[in-house]
Amino acid sequence: MTVSPATQHPEDGALPFDPRSGSRIERLLFNYRAVILLLCAIVTALAVIQLPRLHSNGSFEKMIPSDHPFIVNYLTMKSDLPNPNVLRIAVTAPGADIYDAVFLEKLQRLTNELLAFPEVDRVGLKSLWTPNARWQGVTEEGFDAGPLVPNDYQGRPEDLQQLRVNVRRSGEIGKIVSFDEKSALIAVPLLPDNAELKRRIDYGALNTRLEEMRTRYEAQGVPMQISGFAKVVGDLIAGLQKIALFFLLSIVLAAGVLYAHTRCLRSTGLVVICSLVAVVWQLGALPALGFDLNPYSVLVPFLVFAIGMSHGAQKMNGIMQDVGRGAPKEVAARYTFRRLFLAGLTALLCDAVGFGVLLIIDIPVIQELAMIASLGVAILIFTNLILLPILLSYIGVSPLAAERSLRAERGRSHPVWHWLGRLTEPRRALATVVFCGLLAVGAFMVSLHLKIGDLDPGAPELRADSRYNLDDAYIKQKYGASADAFIVMVRTPEGACSTYDTLMRVDALEWKLRSLPVVENTVSLAGQQRLLMSGYNEGNPKWYELPTNSAMLNTITANSPRGLFNDVCSVLPLTAYLQDHRADTLTSVVKVAEEFAKQNDSADAQFLLAGGSAGIEAATNIVVQHANREMLLWVYGAVLILCFVTFRSWRAVVCTMLPLALISLLCEALMVVLGVGVKVATLPVIALGVGIGVDYALYVMSILLAHLRRGETLPNAFEAALLFTGRMVMLTGVTLAVGVAVWAWSPIKFQADMGILLAFMFVGNMVGALVLLPALAHFLLRPVSLRPSS
């Protein structure tokens, strides 16, 4: 029997190694090892030089699905609507109430400091000390109005008493003054990013200044609470500094797990180094490509490192076993490259697919995550499939470790492998398939309760006991001024926003929304018309109606705040302030508003959804809901095609895909149990779990098919696959899970959720590849059907 150079394997016995064997790529790589190492060193140096240019930041605009109809409507009329990116800063008086000269002086100083921030929209900033904080009242002479703080204020007792009177008749209690009048609030709108003006908010720097300001004022006995999108992003960025410690912990734990298995320091070090090189290349490429790290994409280096450790462990294991058989280190490296390169490449392509399908989600922050992660996986093809075997061909592995690895491969009496190998027996295979089928049905029933969007009040990205969520709860309790504003935009012809017919319909929608238990308050021009109509008639509640006379309507409109209509009287925002932004809350409000719009839209008045923070959140939930199933179809379809190209057997593809589907269902059920909704932060989890989780099945199936195509029986072929790669599948499953499980201690809650879910999927897919795959193989795979001649 002659052995073709292209197919020579170490199992061929004492045959001398033919340097002409292997593919053209293998010969090219290993014949020019020194050149490749030099090129990798140059690229690594260039990447390190780029690292100081890498920054962490967030963006309000990148968090919204810009092509959704709600957002298109919002962006079209953005200049006529309240700014949703607003900081709310509550300052509590140390005394009995806010009417204290010393406290008011500090509030004035704080207001002036905030006005000096370059990110602040100074015109829109509102506090007791700004000109836009006014009172309006009905007197014997008609309407009267003025600033809350008297123009001649000097801190005298009579000035403080006048301020108290002005506040109580202004309607600002519950807005910029707390219900108990013990704290005052400053509303701080932020300017939007503007590429033309090269203006972009640095949320990390802004958060640092806010915290410095908080520390300074609290040292003076003035407690401060801060809420708003910018503060959430700032706290997330601040939390990223602690993430570096988790990354170091991941490295130590993954290296420890690998070393405990191999007892080879040099090869363990090489696997860690190559995985870190991939992370350095990725991070170094980001500034050159114009990317920043945001709170979502900062998790990608963890995944890239963990995936690199997984694939590196497989390569190291193969080289160890070949060295144990007596092959020189370079020959062993070439054998392992030859045997596992295609499976590793397919696995990494599946990983890239898991990330790449996230591009279909119309949310820029997720699309950036997809591009950054796909870049990292592409880099792993070079660092772990090419660089690592070349380095091992020079340095090799410990002879004792190689001997131990070979003994483990030949230790067919090991009880774990023996038990797993018996899963191919008819009775055990049937019991396993039936049990997994029942498990899938149960998981599917539980997954039907999976919610879209946030399930908790406050900022669910942060933990419930975080400083931000405590501050946000305080502001809601003391002010009742919810930050969750849902805006319906009513568009009319120019100058026609105050017609009786239009205002009647706005009033009808306002009544419907106000009747919802999740709506705390509503504000619109229609409500203002009722209020001022009553005021024009000495405050008599009998006149709390919409006037039918157009002249009176126009007069009242002219005296109404401009935030209730735009300058040309063509847009009327109807704002509903919600209890929270949980999924059920947003769904109920959207349903009522959409049904009303369908029944009442006309040429004179169009009811368009939706603006405000809650409207944007509602649009995001809708996009996430639509993308969730579409994303899974794409990732499963792409993985199926890649598996078929690799295996050339539909039976093998079915054996590979069904365990993945089961773990996906179980993951959705786990999300229900943990109270985690499908949202921007968790949407990538299942796609990543499928893309990365298929790696285990690919390695096991590749070896299994190779033995079956040689005519071996299924039990023998599967046990051989277990002995060659099963141990490393277990090892890599644990390594990947450890790499992400440390996120569970992150101060950022969505990172903790992602860590738990990904760790479950990695371990679950590993178990599926070792338990369900052989049971399915009993029914689907036969040696005769897999021979090349068939």
Task: Give per-residue pLDDT as tens, 528-582.
Answer: 777 777 666 666 677 677 777 777 777 777 767 667 777 777 888 888 888 877 7
Q: pLDDT: is 60 or 236 the higher one? A: 236
Q: Where are the alpha helices (DSSP H) in 138-218?
A: 157-168, 203-218
The three-class DSSP label of residue 188 is: strand
Give the pLDDT mean for 665-693.
79
End-to-end CA distance of the chain: 22
- What whole-number distance in Å separates Cα of residue 619 and Cα of residue 182? 37
Q: pLDDT: is 537 or 336 the higher one? A: 336
Query: Do residues 133 and 154 lie in contact, with contact meaning Cβ atoms separated by under 8 Å?
Result: no
Tokens for 314, please give them: 């497989």
Burial string for 677-687 (b: 16+ CB within 10 Å, else e) reads: bbbbbbbbbbb
Query: Do residues 488 and 72 lie in contact, with contact meaning Cβ atoms separated by under 8 Å?
Result: no
The amino acid occupying position 686 is I
| Distance from chain centroid for Cα 570 | 38
- What whole-number distance in Å separates Cα of residue 265 and Cα of residue 688? 31
Q: Which DSSP symbol is given to 455?
A: -
Burial string for 640-662 (b: 16+ CB within 10 Å, else e) reads: bebbeebbebebbbbbbbbbbeb
CA distances 617 to 110, 120, 368, Å, are 31, 23, 19
Other beta carbons less than 10 A from residue 544's beta carbon: 15
Burial string for 120-135 (b: 16+ CB within 10 Å, else e) reads: beeebbbbbbbeebeb
Q: Which residues pair with 611 in a beta bridge?
A: 487
CA distances 97 to 171, 181, 471, 478, Å, are 18, 6, 19, 13
- What whole-number distance in Å separates Cα of residue 488 and Cα of residue 497? 14
Tokens for 575, please give them: 């704002």
What pLDDT sits at residue 438? 93
With tokens 């200044």, the residue in question is: 209
Give the pLDDT mean for 575-591.
83
Query: Do residues 640 and 652 lie in contact, with contact meaning Cβ atoms separated by under 8 Å?
Result: no
Please check the confidence at residue 505 and state whether its pLDDT lies above 70. Answer: yes
Give the pLDDT mean for 217-242.
83
Please check the confidence at residue 769 and state whether its pLDDT lies above 90. Answer: no
Q: Which residues pair with 474 in a beta bridge?
A: none
- What whole-number distance in Å separates Cα of residue 338 and Cα of residue 384? 14
Mean pLDDT of the chain: 79
Query: Do residues 183 and 478 lie in contact, with contact meaning Cβ atoms separated by under 8 Å?
Result: yes
What pLDDT sits at residue 779? 85
Please check the confidence at residue 342 and state whether its pLDDT lies above 80. Answer: no
Query: Do residues 385 and 275 lie in contact, with contact meaning Cβ atoms separated by under 8 Å?
Result: no
Secondary-structure percent of the chain, ordered helix, strand, coil, rounded to 5: 65, 10, 25
Mean pLDDT check: name the lowest of 121-130, 329-338, 399-408.
399-408
Q: pLDDT: is 303 or 49 the higher one? A: 49
Nearest to 484 by CA among 527, 518, 450: 518
pLDDT in tens, 196-224: 556 677 888 888 889 898 999 888 888 89
Give the pLDDT mean for 174-182.
85
Query: Do residues 751 and 679 lie in contact, with contact meaning Cβ atoms separated by under 8 Å?
Result: no
Query: What pTM did the predictor assign?
Result: 0.74
Please check the confidence at residue 509 and state whether its pLDDT lies above 50. Answer: yes
Strand segments, DSSP code E, in 404-518 are 485-491
Please check the confidence at residue 701 and state whether its pLDDT lies above 50. Answer: yes
- What whole-number distance in Å separates Cα of residue 238 and Cα of residue 203? 10
What pLDDT sits at residue 434? 92
Can you give the three-state secondary structure of 88-116, one letter per residue? EEEEECCCCCCCCHHHHHHHHHHHHHHHC
Nearest to 389 by CA among 328, 320, 333, 311: 333
Q: How confident is the model at residue 4 (pLDDT cuts 50, 70, 90)?
A: very low
> CA angle, 596 as apex, 590 and 602 as ends, to 5°?
125
CA distances 273 to 268, 372, 392, Å, are 9, 20, 12
Please check the confidence at residue 635 and state whether its pLDDT lies above 70. Answer: yes
Please check the confidence at residue 141 and state whether its pLDDT lies above 70. Answer: no
Sign of the four-CA dihedral 609, 614, 620, 626: negative
The amino acid occupying position 148 is L
Q: Where are the alpha helices (DSSP H) in 722-748?
A: 727-741
Tokens for 270, please give them: 């090489």
What pLDDT sits at residue 12? 44
Q: pLDDT: is 142 or 630 the higher one? A: 630
With tokens 């089961």, the residue in question is: 662
Q: Is 142 exposed, middle or buried (0-12, 13-18, 19+ CB in 10 A)?
A: exposed
pLDDT over 90 percentage in the chain: 1
Give the pLDDT mean for 691-704.
77
Q: Which DSSP symbol is given to 181?
A: S
Query: Do residues 713 and 786 lie in contact, with contact meaning Cβ atoms separated by under 8 Å?
Result: no
Tokens for 352, please give them: 């890239």
Nearest to 310 by CA among 341, 348, 336, 338: 348
pLDDT in tens, 74-115: 888 877 777 778 888 898 888 888 888 888 888 889 999 888
Tokens for 766, please give them: 């590993």
Tokens for 330, please give them: 């370079």
Q: How confident is the model at residue 435 (pLDDT cuts 50, 70, 90)?
A: very high
Query: Do residues 729 and 698 lie in contact, with contact meaning Cβ atoms separated by under 8 Å?
Result: no
Other beta carbons less than 10 A from residue 105's beta carbon: 12
pLDDT over 70 percentage in the chain: 89
Query: Do residues 50 and 285 lie in contact, with contact meaning Cβ atoms separated by under 8 Å?
Result: yes
Q: How confident is the model at residue 14 (pLDDT cuts 50, 70, 90)?
A: very low
